Structure 1
Amino acid sequence: MEFYLKENGMRIDLDYGTLSISGNEEYGFRPYQLMAASIAGCSGSVFRKILEKQRTEIEDLIISAEVERNPEEASRIERISLHYTIKGYHLNPDRLYKNLALSRKNCSMIRSVEDSIKIEESLEYMELSR
């Protein structure tokens, strides 16, 4: 990957588009947003694959992320809280929690930062009827 200087940050050109990165939201994604998005995106993708393999029928998976930063240490990310909302059919709560734990073990982004950023996860589910 090659990153290029631009007036108010950096950019990278990828096959599916250009990503602008800046400390100012007016000019691109802020680095902490990209970190949280990488962790939520990876975790959600792994979780979804596990649910699909177990033939769990889901209509939607929403992840909200809350980021806690420390202004005393260059706004270092201290904690990311991920809240998963699953909407689906015939959901088994015990299985959902076990699969979430399994997805954590198999998410490369969480595994990369787990010794330096506290990652917290919570889960809620909504049973849909047909």
Structure 2
Amino acid sequence: MEFKMKEVGFHTTTEYGELHVAGDEAYGYRPYQLMVASIAVCSGGVLRKILTKKRIEIDDMTISTKVERIEAEANRIEKIHIHYRIKGNNLNPNKIQQSIELASKNCPMAQSVKESIKIEETFELI
């Protein structure tokens, strides 16, 4: 990827359109938002694949995140709490928990930051 400087922030063009990144939300996505989104969506995507392979059918999944940052350390991300809301019929909570643990071990984005950012995952079945 190549990022070009703008008056405020940077931008790049991908096959899906333009991506604007800046420290100020008025001009684009903030870098920490992209990092959190990458980890959450990667984890959710891996979880979805695992559930499909286990023949666990779900109707829908929503992922919420909460981020804890340390202001005194350049406002770095300390912890990301990922909460899955999974909709389906006759879902087994134990199998879902096992699948989330397996997904965490197989998500490249989560594994890339495992020594520096704590990732906590919870779920609820709807």
TM-score, normalised via structure 2 length: 0.98
Name the counterpart of 1:109: 109
Name the counterpart of 2:15: 15
- The amino acid of 1:29's aligned partner reads Y
TM-score, normalised via structure 1 length: 0.95
Q: Deviations over 1:11-61 (max 9, x none)?
A: 111011110000100000000100100000100000001111112111111
Runs of 4+ that moved beyond 4 A: none
Aligned-residue RMSD, C-alpha: 0.7
Partner secondary structure for residue 26 of structure 1: helix
- The amino acid of 2:69's aligned partner reads R
How many residues align structurally? 126
Task: For residue 5 of structure 1, report the CA deviation from its aligned partner.
Answer: 0.4
Task: For residue 89 of structure 1, report the CA deviation from its aligned partner.
Answer: 1.4
State whether structure 2 residue 66 is matched by structure 1 residue 84: no
Structure 1 unpaired stretches of 5+: none
Counterpart Cα distance in 1 of 2:80 and 2:96: 20
Matches within 5 A, 1:61-76: 61-76=61-76
Partner secondary structure for residue 25 of structure 2: coil
Structure having the larger proportion of residues in strand = 1
Task: For residue 113 of structure 1, report the CA deviation from its aligned partner.
Answer: 0.2
Name the counterpart of 1:45: 45
- The amino acid of 1:16's aligned partner reads Y
Name the counterpart of 2:30: 30
User: Matched residues, percent identical?
Assistant: 55
- The amino acid of 1:12's aligned partner reads T
Partner secondary structure for residue 102 of structure 2: helix
Partner secondary structure for residue 58 of structure 1: coil
Counterpart Cα distance in 1 of 2:10 and 2:67: 22
CA contact (8 A) 1:56 1:91 kept: yes
